[in-house]
Amino acid sequence: MSMNSQGRPSTPVATGSQHDTETVSGSKGLYQFEPLIFETDRWGKTGVDLPKAKGTKSRLGGVERTGKAELPGLSEPETVRHYMRLSQRNYAIDLGLFPLGSCTMKHNPRLNEKMARLPGFADIHPMQPQASVQGALELIDELATWLKTLTGMPAVAMSPKAGAHGELCGMLAIRQALISRGEADTRKRVLVPASAHGTNPATAAQCGFIVDEIGADKRGRVDMDDLRAKLEKTDDVAGIMLTNPNTCGLFETDIKEIADLIHEAGGYFYCDGANFNAIVGRVRPGDLGIDAMHINLHKTFSTPHGGGGPGSGPTVLSEALAPFAPVPFILKDEDGFRLVEEAEEEAKESFGRMASFHGQMGMFVRALSYMLSHGADGLKQVAEDAVLNANYIQAKLKTVMTPAFDGFCMHEALFSDKFTAEGIETIDIAKALIDEGYHPMTMYFPLVVHGAMLIEPTETESKAELDRFCGALESVARRAAQDDDTLKGAPYLAPMKRLDETHAARKPVLKWAPPAPEQLAAE
């Protein structure tokens, strides 16, 4: 295996399998070998000719760089190829079904992109006078109205920039509400179910709360006895953070009772709304007694995910929490729309600011395009089709894999590793799925299920594609059940094989260093 100067494998790694044919170039068919950009060429090369700057006085006040910037030197075609080749290594929703559970990897409609590129939205700047961006402010306000209507909540904070950021917003609002009640020092405990997404306990801890875990019952839902016990004779509970539908893909059937118990105990109800896609247009979280919930526009409302674009996590708030919402927010009066920027006068109870500006404008345009093109009835059908597709997968695979819980699921199907032969693990199944051309499902999450495999197809997959995916997974699952040890070497067809994930997580190499002179001399 050839290693680069950092000790990372820099060419495809041989595994000795019959699938693995080494090539001289390192490329294989349409897969182009590509080293790190720093390894591509020598220093000093450049893709542009700039005349030497003449007579311009430095305005850096003596803090100019004196050493080399150590940027790689590449021509334009080399640069283009480098990034093009890297882009080909990615799996993407535009390439195929992306079964990551809890992530709602749905198609990003092209109409959204067209709207976001309209110059009136794409070319404006947050520092522009507000009178010159009335249309943009109106769009944010209209999106806010949709979000409030769909959730049945009176207020929404638009500035959070991801789901986790929305959680932070909701929990800071709860903390501010407790401060105003004079109970911030006594109410320190936040209840979080064992099946929660890792961001929930992290957010609570970040806000200075103590995380107290509630168990799951045999049906994969909140253990109500455990919850009641945790609320008995205490006045130190700040609230609960609960996902609904939960990360087992199940609706929390006791949710109204949970809300009542929390409110009776003097706490607030934070709902992680990442899975809103399963219930949008069918259930209004406000009717369930929820006080705060973030909405991932990049999940439910089809804006791009991860590398495709920034996230956006508007957070709806109940009557009780609305006064504590962050600035800025939009108000409309006789002069038009305006942003309330300071936590005073009209926002004197606000907990402050979460972001420099009003939020992710490009994502707002995309999300509203999605809502308007679906309409209220179309959004309801989104939820219904998402749930139907997940149940189709669960029904099709339940004879070869083990569903984690009995009964129908919501938007995602959860399996345990019970069906696998001894020695075959979830990771082997995930890696074999890569050879079949699919991104693996969410693995080992939620933690309450052994060797969990969480599959969320979303509503945008056709029956034909679901069948193709199920066919691939079924064949891998049969091999796993029969102790086919070739699974242990998968993936055979990917450019990189089994990586040392523990090492990568514990000792990440985040910075490139030039090779030592003796290494250069040897080349």
Letters for 309-338 (x = contact with ligand PLP by CB under 6 A, - = none) are: --x-x-------------------------
What radius of gyration, in Å, describes the C-alpha atoms of the chain?
26
For residues 97 and 231, which CB has a smaller minimum distance to ligand PLP in the complex? 97
Q: In what order do the strands lie in the sheet with 442-443?
A: 402-403, 413-416, 453-455, 442-443
Residue nearest ligand PLP by beta-carbon distance: 163
User: Residue 512 forms beta bridges with which residues?
Assistant: none
For residues 274 and 325, which CB has a smaller minimum distance to ligand PLP in the complex? 274
Tell me the one-letter amino acid at 192: V
Position of tokens 């220093």? 43
Binding status of residue 163 toward ligand PLP by CB under 6 A: yes
| 338 vs 341: CA distance, rounded Å | 9
For residues 290 and 343, which CB has a smaller minimum distance to ligand PLP in the complex? 290
Size of the site for ligand PLP (CB under 6 A): 14
| 271 vs 321: CA distance, rounded Å | 13
- Rounded to the nearest whole angstrom, what is the least distance from the CB of residue 111 to ligand PLP in the complex? 23
| 442 vs 17: CA distance, rounded Å | 27
- Rounded to the nearest whole angstrom, what is the least distance from the CB of residue 410 to ligand PLP in the complex? 12
Binding status of residue 162 toward ligand PLP by CB under 6 A: yes
- Rounded to the nearest whole angstrom, what is the least distance from the CB of residue 360 to ligand PLP in the complex? 11
- Give 51's DSSP letter: P
- Rounded to the nearest whole angstrom, what is the least distance from the CB of residue 246 to ligand PLP in the complex? 8
Binding status of residue 277 toward ligand PLP by CB under 6 A: no
For residues 102 and 394, which CB has a smaller minimum distance to ligand PLP in the complex? 102
Binding status of residue 247 toward ligand PLP by CB under 6 A: yes
Tell me the one-letter amino acid at 337: F
- Rounded to the nearest whole angstrom, what is the least distance from the CB of residue 272 to ligand PLP in the complex? 5
- Rounded to the nearest whole angstrom, what is the least distance from the CB of residue 50 to ligand PLP in the complex? 40
What are the start-end ranges of the H helices in 451-516?
Answer: 463-481, 501-506
- Rounded to the nearest whole angstrom, what is the least distance from the CB of residue 215 to ligand PLP in the complex? 18
| 439 vs 300: CA distance, rounded Å | 20
Pick the binder of ligand PLP from 108, 277, 296, 302 (CB under 6 A): 296
Considering only residues 178 through 237, tell me which ones interact with ligand PLP, judged by CB under 6 A. 197, 199
Query: What are the distances in angstroms from CA 213 to CA 161, 174, 202?
Result: 27, 19, 12
What are the start-end ranges of the H helices in 207-270?
Answer: 224-231, 255-264
Pick the binder of ligand PLP from 164, 190, 365, 379 (CB under 6 A): 164
For residues 347 and 363, which CB has a smaller minimum distance to ligand PLP in the complex? 363
For residues 361 and 477, which CB has a smaller minimum distance to ligand PLP in the complex? 361
Pick the binder of ligand PLP from 252, 272, 291, 456 (CB under 6 A): 272
- Bridge-based pairing of strands 268-272 and 292-294 is parallel
- Bridge-based pairing of strands 155-157 and 315-317 is antiparallel
Strand extents, DSSP E, 184-341: 189-193, 210-214, 237-243, 268-272, 292-294, 315-317, 329-333, 336-340
For residues 187 and 366, which CB has a smaller minimum distance to ligand PLP in the complex? 366
Nearest CA among 98, 88, 28 for reference residue 438: 98
Pick the binder of ligand PLP from 274, 290, 292, 480 (CB under 6 A): 274
Tell me if residue 375 falls in helix, strand or coil.
helix
Pick the binder of ligand PLP from 112, 243, 315, 426 (CB under 6 A): 243
- Bridge-based pairing of strands 237-243 and 268-272 is parallel
- Rounded to the nearest whole angstrom, what is the least distance from the CB of residue 91 to ligand PLP in the complex? 17
Binding status of residue 115 toward ligand PLP by CB under 6 A: no
From the list 157-165, 234-242, 319-327, 451-459, the region that binds ligand PLP by CB under 6 A is: 157-165
Binding status of residue 402 toward ligand PLP by CB under 6 A: no
- Rounded to the nearest whole angstrom, what is the least distance from the CB of residue 102 to ligand PLP in the complex? 4
Nearest CA among 190, 203, 170 for reference residue 271: 170
What is the maximum span of the chain, computed from C-alpha positions, in angstroms?
77
Nearest CA among 412, 381, 374, 307 for reference residue 109: 374
Rounded to the nearest 5°, which phi and psi values hold at 482?
A: -95, 15
For residues 38 and 405, which CB has a smaller minimum distance to ligand PLP in the complex? 405
For residues 272 and 417, which CB has a smaller minimum distance to ligand PLP in the complex? 272
From the list 46-54, 79-87, 161-169, 470-478, the region that binds ligand PLP by CB under 6 A is: 161-169
Structure-token pair, residue 189: 């405990």
Position of tokens 């305005």? 59
Considering only residues 498 through 517, tell me which ones interact with ligand PLP, judged by CB under 6 A. none
Nearest CA among 292, 215, 283 for reference residue 447: 215
Letters for 411-450 (x = contact with ligand PLP by CB under 6 A, - = none) are: ----------------------------------------
Residue count (the chain): 523
For residues 104 and 176, which CB has a smaller minimum distance to ligand PLP in the complex? 104
* Interaction site with ligand PLP (CB under 6 A): 102-103, 162-164, 197, 199, 243, 247, 272, 274, 296, 311, 313
